[in-house]
Amino acid sequence: MEKRRLTAVILAAGHGKRMKSPLPKVLHPVAGIPMIARIINVIKKCGAQEIRVVVGVGKDLIQPLVTQLGTISFEQKEQLGTGHALMAADYETLEGDVLVLSGDHPLVRVSELLNAIEEYKNEGAELAVLSCNMKNPGEFGRIVRQKGQLKAIVEAKDASKETLAIKEVNTGIYIISAKLINKFLPELRASNKQNEIYLTDIVSMAVEAGARTIVVPVSLDTAFGVNDQTQLSKATRRIVQRKVKELLESGVMFINPEMVYIEDSVTVGAGSVIYPGVFLKGKTKIGSYCVLEPNCFIMDSEVEDSVQIKLGSYIDGSKIKTRAAIGPYAHIRPECDIGENAKVGNFVELKKVQFGDNAKASHLTYLGDATIGDETNIGCGTITCNYAVDKKKYKTEIGKNVFVGSDTQFVAPVKIGDNAVIGSGSTITKDVPANALAVARGRQIIKEDYNKG
């Protein structure tokens, strides 16, 4: 059998006024990923040959993102309703079947879309409406049936009291044959309370014309639409809950699973322990047997096995190798690579640092644009002066097994050889050879009986 073409059309031109936000609704992040990107990612797994996105309000911000994600955007100049939005997607050029969705349903499940597409095909339908039963159907359009058969979709704002009592609602997701769209879309009219051209009216038209129509029930997740900030926060919470459940089932331990934020892109190995208040974001990978103490924030970072991240540490765009210990209150900025069994202690800030195996910076230190060799000890209060008056950054290279006394400043660019010793309180401006002692501080002078009191 010839494979029919499947095109997905996402309607995303609306105002999203109820968000009360300057950002277009579909760009609001749900667990770190813009709503519209989540939907596009889901649709990509449904076998659509083409994805069209209808944009309008905030198009200058939305278009670059959706284009980058490989979709084609169409502009709906005036927001005259969902039917009008589909018209804007060059509907005359549609062929085969069309999956229509809204840009504000970020929890849509791939398996349910695939199942609906399958059922639509098996039933030889021309229109499938994805529905859901809700205790509180609120603003959703109601599925009106006659003798059990689909008859129409009626918007809550246009519904009678009896219709409003219906618990079966329209998710706003449909599969419609391009033929049916081309036949009925031009006939849609704005004859309702909102004065909008409703896409939902295509249902009664199709039924009256005797087209084969079906209703496919889906989960509350797929039906979940975001129209305000409360719903946005619920959608994020839902993604995090799904992720935490998956991690609990795979052997990750949580002291309080309700009190963490973990994005679905993150991985955590079995046997790791996560304390309350931990944030794990983006491309973060956490190994096995790690301990993440309260209030750690880790984004786009790789943490190998058996690492301890102590209370209140912030790690961004870095790699922490096995058995290292970080914090409490450490700040690891992008492009750091912390060696095996290394120790980065409290109030230590690192940026673009290669930090060797077994190296230590236990307290109150800033290292930037630096390499620190294996086994080297950085004393308390050490600073690399990497930013010069010419507004350029310079490197500090410290070899292996170096002993850096407390309160040392390295004025970059500067190189310190292996096994060197730096006297406490030094301001190092020149290279130090291997095995040497460098002291660069004022000598102590004693004036007896100076304070006559």
Closest C-alpha to 54, from 98, 95, 88: 88
We find the least distance from the C-beta atom of residue 190 to ligand UD1, in angstroms, to be: 11
Binds 54: which of ligand UD1, Ca ion, none (CB < 5-8 Å by kind): ligand UD1
Which of 232, 228, 333, 330 lies closest to 17 in space, CA to CA? 228
**Nearer CB in complex with ligand UD1: 143/348:** 143
Question: Segment 212-251, which members bind Ca ion (CB under 5 A)?
Answer: 225
Would you count residue 156 as binding Ca ion (CB under 5 A)?
Answer: no
By CB under 6 A, is residue 153 in contact with ligand UD1? yes
Toward Ca ion, which CB reaches closer, 99 or 378? 99
Task: Write down the least CB distance from residue 126 to ligand UD1, Å.
Answer: 18
Q: By C-beta, is 81 or 356 nearer to ligand UD1?
A: 81
**In the complex with Ca ion, which residue's Cβ is closer, 40 or 223?**
223
Two tokens, residue 129: 């409406």
Cβ closer to ligand UD1: 16 or 373? 16
Kindly indicate which of the ranges 7-15, 306-314, 315-323, 372-380 contains the residues binding ligand UD1, using the contact rule CB under 6 A: 7-15
Q: Pick one of Ca ion, ligand UD1, none as the site partner of residue 141 (Cβ within 5 to 8 A by kind).
A: ligand UD1
Verify whether residue 28 is a known catalytic residue: no
Segment near ligand UD1 (CB under 6 A); pick from 168-176, 312-320, 345-353, 420-428: 168-176
The CA-to-CA distance between both ends of the chain, in Å, stands at 105
Query: Would you say 16 or 269 has its CB closer to ligand UD1?
Result: 16
Q: Are 64 and 73 in contact (CB under 8 A)?
A: no
Could you say which of ligand UD1, Ca ion, none residue 168 binds, taking C-beta under 5 to 8 angstroms by partner kind?
none
Q: How far is the CB of 225 from Ca ion (least distance, A)?
A: 4
What is the footprint of ligand UD1 within residues 104-143 (CB under 6 A)?
104, 140-141
* Distance of closest approach, residue 224 Cβ to ligand UD1, in angstroms: 9
- Residue 264: CB atoms within 10 A of its CB come to 14
Find how far residue 114's CA is from the centre of its chain. 24
**Phi (first) and psi of residue 49, to 5 degrees:** -75, -20
* Residue 156 DSSP one-character state: G
The reply on whether position 171 binds ligand UD1 by CB under 6 A is yes
Select 29 or 328, whichever has its Cβ closest to Ca ion.
29
What's the CA gap between 411 and 429, in Å, rounded? 5
The tokens describing 181, both together, are: 């769209």
Q: Are 303 and 290 in contact (CB under 8 A)?
A: yes
As given in the structure block, the two tokens for residue 180 are 């049916």
Nearest-approach distance from CB 236 to ligand UD1, in angstroms: 18
The kind and range of the H/E element at 237 are helix 229-249
Joined tokens for residue 133: 């039963």
Q: Are strands 33-34 and 29-30 parallel, antiparallel or unpaired?
A: antiparallel
What's the alpha-carbon Rg for the chain, to the nearest Å? 30
Task: Figure out which of the listed residues 7, 71, 73, 82 binds ligand UD1, where binding follows CB under 6 A.
Answer: 82
Q: What does 82 interact with, of Ca ion, ligand UD1, none (CB < 5 to 8 A by kind)?
A: ligand UD1
What's the CA gap between 63 and 212, in Å, rounded? 36
Applying CB under 6 A, does 199 fall inside the site for ligand UD1?
yes
Pattern 97-116, Ca ion, x by CB under 5 A = -------x------------
> Is residue 269 at the binding interface for ligand UD1, with CB under 6 A as the rule?
no
Distance CA 245, CA 252 (A): 10
Give every CB contact of residue 224 below 8 A, 6+ residues apart in sequence.
105, 106, 107, 231, 234, 235, 238
Q: Is the separation of the CB atoms in 268 and 274 below 8 Å?
A: yes
Helix (H, G, I), strand (E, B) or coil at 276: coil
Chain contacts with ligand UD1 (rule: CB under 6 A): 11-14, 54, 76, 79-82, 84-85, 102-104, 140-141, 153, 155, 169-172, 198-200, 225
Chain contacts with Ca ion (rule: CB under 5 A): 104, 225
Active site residues: 363
